[in-house]
Structure 1
Amino acid sequence: MPKNTKPAAQSGAKATAKSGAAAEPGAPAKSRKPFLIGAAVLVAAGVLGMASYRATSPDAKPTVNDAASTSAPTAGGYPELAGLARRDAKDPLAQGRPDAPVVMIEYADFKCSYCGKFARDTEPALVKKYVDKGTLRIEWRNFPIFGAESEAAARGAWAAGQQGRFRQFHAAAYAQGSKEKGFGGDRLKALAEEAGVPDASRFAADLDSDAAKAAVKKDQEEAYGLGATSTPSFLINGTPIAGAQPMDAFARTIDAAAAAAGPAGGTGKK
């Protein structure tokens, strides 16, 4: 697997295949315990690992959506992977209708530059074009790969979500220049305040709670079990996309998934 040299064309932050920690100086090693999601899912999920590999290789061309155009057997994607959508109406880390015909699952890290680029440059357009019209639901999965501060930021996002301020925390954490300030304890408190989290004491308690750690671990192991090796990684109705691809790549995949879902789309689990 090629090293993450971060060329200009690269569209995702790479995790090392050996440890599961990102290839960043000082990042602690992390074991990659597979998420047991069933043999059928694991077979299809290898596609996401390959998509991650291609998106972060030195020869990557982010203007071409390799995953959507060559990986999935149909416009509907892999049913086994589509089944990972939770469609929980009470999920504070998701946006969009639970019964939307298309669900995009995003596995991301707050210390990932490419995740920030997607959050600032592409996601707002997707929300306006698809989420606001009821076509798309976006489900966030914490996938910290850059060590202790990534883990802390993920728990902070979860804690903000418990008070209905996940999207605001997400925006503050991904604002231009925010990553460079780090995600230490005082910084997370400042982000929570910026996000308008009403109860600072509860936020601090939730941040270090076993529930926060378990939630982050669940998302992280799901991503590793899918073979994801970079952030951001996405599943759109079971079709994998790796990296901060251009808007057109997401639009093509979402449009195809919506068409494949038809008028009966979005009747999955809620």
Structure 2
Amino acid sequence: MAENTDRRFRLSSVIVIALGAALLGGLGTAVVMSSTLGGTATAPAPAAAEPGAQKEQTASGVPDLARRIDGDPTAIGAVDAPVVMIEFADYRCPFCSLFSRETMPKIMEQYLADGTLRIEWRDLPIFGDQSIDTAIAARAAGDQGLFWEYNAAVAAAAPDRGHPDIDRAMLIGFAEQVGVPDLAAFELGLDSETHRAAVQADLQEAQSIGATSTPIFLIGDEAIGGAQPLEAFQAIIERQAARP
């Protein structure tokens, strides 16, 4: 009990900072309304961004949640990489999709090839049942080695604002788009209780540290909230990599 309280306290500043980033930079936030996967979530409309208002928003002293599981389809990069970046995200969050489209490929190109960084995905489905269904679908694609391709395809189709409707037909369409070889197995995976439980476990982990908005990134013992520019991530990754 004391450990959980300590972890919540250490990350409470991260959540405040993430909310501050939303107000300053139009990054948007959402509040988890239920601790179960059948729950719903609401979010305020994104605030208008002021020119030059977006700044790096970080906090230090966050818990080490890196799993470093060899063969984990929801992770990419060397298991023994010196830096792990954990992304808590919702597939229907426009700012998560913005990061995936514009910033993630550059981070991967710069830091994965040389072994500096490992990226671990965490589902934080705060925009309702369709977010949960999409998270399960990505894991079903991951069963066939295409988690990250599926993840990117969903982000590529997302609008710049608002939360897209993603029905079952679209989930299957994304699988076809990325070349999932066994579509019948994929469709069975859409109803997988194992995948649903894994999404639930990620959600509970996020709640255990007080994370209620998306996207949030834990990089080593630092955190950053919102779809910040590439330079903000570079600064933290290189600072963490330089530590003995």
TM-score, L = length of structure 1:
0.75
| 1:65 maps to amino acid | E
1: CA distance, partners of 2:16 / 2:163: 30
Aligned to 1:64: 55
Q: Compute the RMSD of aligned alpha carbons.
A: 2.1
Contact between 2:91 and 2:131, CA under 8 Å: does it hold in 1?
yes
Q: Which has the higher contact order (CA 8 A, sep 6+)?
A: 1
Contact between 1:169 and 1:195, CA under 8 Å: does it hold in 2?
yes
Shift of 1:201: 1.4
Shift of 1:125: 0.5
Residue 12 of structure 2 is aligned to residue 46 of structure 1 = yes
Contact between 1:47 and 1:240, CA under 8 Å: does it hold in 2?
no
Q: Deviations over 1:176-224 (max 9, x none)?
A: 4478763211110111111211111111111111101100011111112
Match of 1:222 among 205, 213, 222: 205
1: CA distance, partners of 2:170 / 2:25: 36
In the alignment, structure 1 segments of 5+ residues that lack a partner are: 1-34, 263-270
Q: Aligned residue pairs: how many?
A: 217
1: CA distance, partners of 2:98 / 2:25: 20
1: CA distance, partners of 2:207 / 2:2: 10
1: CA distance, partners of 2:102 / 2:207: 26
Indicate the SS of the match to 1:56. helix
Comparing 152-161 and 49-58, the one that deviates more: 49-58
Contact between 1:110 and 1:144, CA under 8 Å: does it hold in 2?
yes
In the alignment, structure 2 segments of 5+ residues that lack a partner are: 27-51
Identity, % of aligned pairs? 40
Aligned to 1:91: 72
Indicate the SS of the match to 1:172. helix
Shift of 1:37: 6.5
Aligned to 1:194: 177
Indicate the SS of the match to 1:105. strand
Match of 1:127 among 104, 108, 124: 108
Shift of 1:105: 0.1
Q: Deviations over 1:60-87 (max 9, x none)?
A: 67642121xxx32xxxx44xx12x1000
Shift of 1:47: 2.5
